[in-house]
Amino acid sequence: MTETVVLTDHEAIRDWAAARMGAPAFVDVSAEAGLQAMLRIVFDQAAYQDQDRAERPVNAGGLEFVEWSEWFDAFDKANLALVVAADRPGRRDSWHEFIRRDDRSRA
């Protein structure tokens, strides 16, 4: 089993994502009007897609790239932690998952 690390510190998360060319994003998962955001970190080319695409109607799904401050507000409000694979020499694994901070013992 791969060794994991649990991150809650904003700078540590931002550094981990930056080392893998990750960008903060939301995905709208609401069934009705209003945003019900699911947090995502988007990597590689998907993080640099053309942002000049047409506006989506409300609740059309898809990624919405956001500022780290907005992403961390949602992250903290949901009481989440980010579980990542421990760094190994010569390898930058982008595997990650979100867990509730109360569930840290299972990570």
Per-residue pLDDT tens over the stretch 58-105: 445 578 889 999 999 999 999 999 999 998 888 889 999 999 998 766
Dihedral of CA 97/40/17/46: which sign? positive
Q: How many domains does the chain have?
A: 1
Query: In terms of pTM, does the model score above 0.85?
Result: no
For residue 97, the model assigns a pLDDT of: 95
Q: What is the mean pLDDT of residues 41-47?
A: 74
- CB half-sphere exposure, 26, CA atoms < 13 A: 19
Q: Domain range holding 39? A: 4-48+57-106
